């Protein structure tokens, strides 16, 4: 169908705002009159014009009598920018095809209602599933207050993330590592556990030459205070660092982290020295962190899976075998008691990335 073609284009445009628009949703818009695209736009970031307005400005007078294809309902309220629905009406658009309504209470159907009241023909739901996947982080944060969590790990074909001596660089090839940096660019925060931060000494920065967004927050989960303040996560790059810890970490270590420029968030661990991950994620959600990339290690990854806090899993498998009962696997921790009760996934994608394999799956649940 013709409508499908233009909505696909609007969704592709919306995706260009990835890593730039948070905490706003990704939105794309296409204006079509007499079979010709007369205007296009996407939201480029907070305070910037909305996608519909960009498309209308490009179209000018040609917007009159056109159809607007938009991935999210045009807003009808004042935020950082004026509402879009009145602009659409004033421009003389006669038909609006929206992929989905905006569940934000400030919108939630009001934009579409204003359009209908003005005599604009409105239809909703075309490619809604794809639009919801595109804005999965925005929607989850809006509905639950929690960020969307993607667990990313790199492993050998037999599931090992390191050799028995702890070495892990580099399991995957350059193409997979470049893909990880694109994933980092799309996230609001990158999270690692204390063991990974201590052993690998990562900088957790975005090394993608195309990235133009704000520095991604680095989150180190260290309940016992084992990561030295001299590590690169505290000194390399402009990205801010937050250490989630407990009263079990020595006071001198917490002071050293602060002196190194990090924010230190002390969470109640009920005496276990384990970070309550849901509390940490809820705290990040309060800071408008909508998308967290969890990069391990295996124990932290298991705690996140066990707590049903992971929404998506991305695994990169290298064509190597490591073996060894003492070599860490993708998930460690306690594991499930029986194979009859696993954490189920819905496979979305299996592709080659250079010499490696990338597997993308959604956690099978309805949060």
- Beta-sheet pairing, 189-193 with 121-124: unpaired
Tokens representing 46 are 């907070």
Q: How many Å from the N-terminal Cα to the C-terminal Cα in the chain?
A: 33
Question: DSSP per residue over 307-352, as a string?
Answer: TT---EEEEEEES-----TTS-BS--SS--S-TTS---EEEEEEEE
Q: Is 73 a catalytic residue?
A: no
Beta strands in the chain (DSSP E): 28-33, 36-42, 67-70, 95-98, 121-124, 148-156, 189-193, 217-221, 241-245, 263-266, 291-294, 312-318, 345-353, 356-363
Cβ neighbour number for residue 355 with a 10 Å cutoff: 13
Assigned token pair, 137: 């982080």
Kindly list the distances between the CA atom of residue 113 and the CA atoms of 10, 85, 102, 119, in Å, as whole numbers in the listed order. Answer: 22, 9, 12, 10
Cα 92 to Cα 7, 41, 115, 318: the distances in Å are 20, 18, 11, 55
**CA 210 to mean position of chain CA atoms:** 17
Catalytic member of 52, 179, 295, 303: 52
Output the CA angle 336-304-15, nearest 5 degrees. Answer: 125
Catalytic residues: 52
């Amino acid at each position: 169908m013709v409508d499908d073609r233009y909505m696909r284009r609007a969704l592709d445009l919306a995706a260009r705002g990835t890593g730039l628009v948070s905490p706003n949703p990704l939105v794309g818009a296409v204006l079509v009159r007499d079979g010709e695209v007369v205007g296009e736009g996407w939201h480029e970031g907070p305070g910037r014009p909305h996608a519909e307005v960009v498309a209308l400005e490009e179209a000018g007078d040609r917007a009159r009598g056109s159809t607007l294809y938009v991935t999210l309902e045009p807003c009808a309220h004042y935020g950082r920018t004026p509402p879009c629905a009145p602009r659409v009406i004033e421009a003389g658009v006669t038909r609006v095809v929206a992929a989905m309504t905006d569940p934000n209470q400030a919108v939630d159907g009001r934009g579409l209602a204003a359009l209908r009241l003005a005599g604009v023909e409105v239809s909703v739901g075309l490619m809604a599933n794809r639009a919801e996947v595109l804005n999965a982080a925005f929607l989850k944060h809006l509905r639950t207050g929690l960020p969307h969590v993607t667990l990313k790990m790199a492993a050998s074909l037999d599931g090992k993330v390191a050799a028995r001596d702890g070495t892990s660089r580099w399991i995957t090839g350059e193409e997979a590592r470049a893909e990880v940096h694109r994933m980092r660019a799309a996230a609001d925060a990158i999270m690692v556990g204390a063991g990974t931060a201590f052993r690998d000494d990562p900088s957790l920065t975005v090394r993608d030459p195309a990235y133009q967004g704000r520095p991604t927050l680095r989150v180190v989960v260290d309940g016992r205070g084992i990561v030295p303040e001299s590590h690169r996560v505290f000194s390399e790059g402009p990205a801010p660092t937050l250490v989630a810890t407990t009263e079990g970490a020595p006071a001198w270590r917490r002071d050293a982290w602060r002196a190194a420029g990090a924010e230190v968030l002390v969470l109640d661990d009920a005496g276990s020295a384990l970070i309550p991950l849901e509390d940490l994620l809820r705290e990040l959600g309060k800071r408008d962190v909508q998308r967290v990339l969890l990069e391990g290690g295996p124990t932290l990854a298991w705690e996140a899976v066990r707590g049903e806090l992971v929404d998506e899993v991305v695994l990169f498998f290298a064509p190597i075998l490591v073996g060894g009962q003492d070599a860490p696997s993708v998930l460690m921790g306690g594991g499930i008691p029986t194979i009859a009760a696993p954490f189920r996934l819905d496979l979305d994608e299996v592709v080659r990335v250079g010499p490696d394999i990338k597997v993308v799956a959604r956690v099978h649940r309805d949060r």
